[in-house]
Amino acid sequence: MRLDPRRWPITFKVPVAVAILMLVAGAVLSERVLDRLGDIQQRHLRELAQGYLDGLSSAVGPSVLRDDVWEVYDAIARAQVQYKGLRPSEAVVTDPRGAVIAASDPRSHAVGSAFVPTESRPFAYESGSATARAHRELSYPGRSIGHLYATFDTSHLAAERRDVIATLLVTNGILLAFFVAAGWLLVARMMRPVRVLTEHLGASSDGVAVPIADWEVQRSRGEFRRMFRAYNDLSTSIAERDELRKRLAEEERLGSLGRLASSIAHEINNPLGGLFNALSTLRSHGHLPAAREGAICLLERGLAGIRDVVRTTLAVHRPREGARNLMPDDFDDLLVLVAAEARRKSVRVKVTARLAAEVAIQSGPIRQALLNILLNAIAAAPAVSVVELAVVGMPEAVTFEVRDRGEGLPVDAAAMLTDPARIPTAGAGLGLWTTRGLVAEIGGVLETESLPGGGTLVRMVVPLARDEALADVA
């Protein structure tokens, strides 16, 4: 798997950058040191070689003119001892034609043998090489009388150069390790406040803003301390807002329960009055068959009405653990629950399009959201008007539409219903916010639209299950 350096943590990037810079700087400095060392060695060796050649040429010059070979051998031997520190390894004296007159090693270069020089330059030496060579022409005023060739052992200079290279490598390695470790420790220390803030922000992404401990804030300095304090202020504000939202939601829940209880009481009180009248009729005229039969029928209808109200309430507000798919009968339940409020407002609720069969949508959130939308529409609708509920089929979703002929939904209320970023304040719009949350739980969206001539259309689009057929929507 390919590693992307852009994703490396900064505590790793900085030491790596320090290591690269140290390697580059160490390589450059080492190269300059070695160059300087080579120049010094070459200059000193050249000066010593020139001194050796000067002394030896002065010593052998007269002997060459007299053709005194033994005196030349003797001068070469004395020079080998006198310049022992220079480590001359070979010296050869030839005549102008290249014939050997004398050499430090007669067995390698016999007298009279031809000598082919390896190097004819006055001085030749490469840094790190084990040998150096020098050449001097022997001359007498007006003519050349021969040549002097010398070879020097420079293995000690090569060893010195290797020692310097080893020292540089060890020193650079130690410095590299030190600076990398120091860079890592320094960056890790500098990044610790950032890591603390990142961890708390990660926890906040789960909906819980955990404040940074006071000792951590006091431990930080400068910008990080101000950043920590700002984050703690933000977490406090979030906690206070969540607490306020919970209180408002609880108040809205209690208010909804009160309205529901009032509606249920109204639906039950109506048949209860008829039941008491039927009981009174039975007490007074129970001996009459016609009166008795009528009273019993009235009792049956009243009890059936109470049973329907109780069943519908349980169906709409049953716990979500036993969630089931949306059924066509769920719309009849909704009509029963809003009937009392519709009669009180002199509004008629009409279902213009229904489900033909069960569809794979959670019924609980749909029923609760439609109940809230219908109650809001009834509250906004003028007297003697119609609130319409319709179900529209689409390729991968079901659309529920509620129309009223009121004055239109205010802009803030519409935003509370459709904008995920809006939150209720001071109890305003909490019911719409709750409805938006119910729809969002099942992956649906809410839309609002102003109708020509006044009124509002609230559209709720809920996705179907992947294999759900469109034929289920009539």
Distances in Å between the Cα of 186 and the Cα atoms of 14, 21, 101, 181, 191 are 10, 17, 73, 8, 9
Model confidence over 199-230: pLDDT tens digits? Answer: 777 666 555 677 777 777 777 777 777 777 78
Q: What angle do CA 345, 348, 349 make, to 5 degrees?
A: 115
Question: Is-contact 101 92, C-beta < 8 A?
Answer: no
Model confidence, pTM: 0.43
| 5-172 classified as CATH 3.30.450.20 | yes
Q: What is the mean pLDDT of the chain?
A: 79
Q: What are the phi and psi torsion angles at 459 (to 5°)?
A: -110, 130
Residues in CB range of 133: below 8 A, 6 or more apart: 118, 119, 121, 123, 124, 125, 149, 150, 151, 152
Question: What pLDDT is recorded for position 1?
Answer: 44
Q: What is the mean pLDDT of residues 79-102?
A: 88
**How far apart (Å, rounded) are the C-alpha atoms in residues 458 and 417?**
9
Would you kindly state where each structural domain of the chain is located, as residue ranges? Answer: 5-172, 323-472
Is pLDDT above 70 for 6?
no
Beginning with the edge strand found earlier in the chain, give each strand of the sheet holding 397-404 in spatial order: 347-351, 385-394, 397-404, 456-463, 445-450
Question: Is-contact 225 217, C-beta < 8 A?
Answer: yes
Question: Is-contact 121 150, C-beta < 8 A?
Answer: no
Is pLDDT above 60 for 426?
no
Top mean-pLDDT range of 101-115, 310-324, 420-434: 101-115
Model confidence over 267-296: pLDDT tens digits? Answer: 677 667 667 767 877 788 777 887 778 778
Model confidence over 150-185: pLDDT tens digits? Answer: 999 988 888 888 899 899 889 888 888 888 888 788
Architecture of domain 323-472: 2-Layer Sandwich (3.30)
Question: What pLDDT is recorded for position 472?
Answer: 46
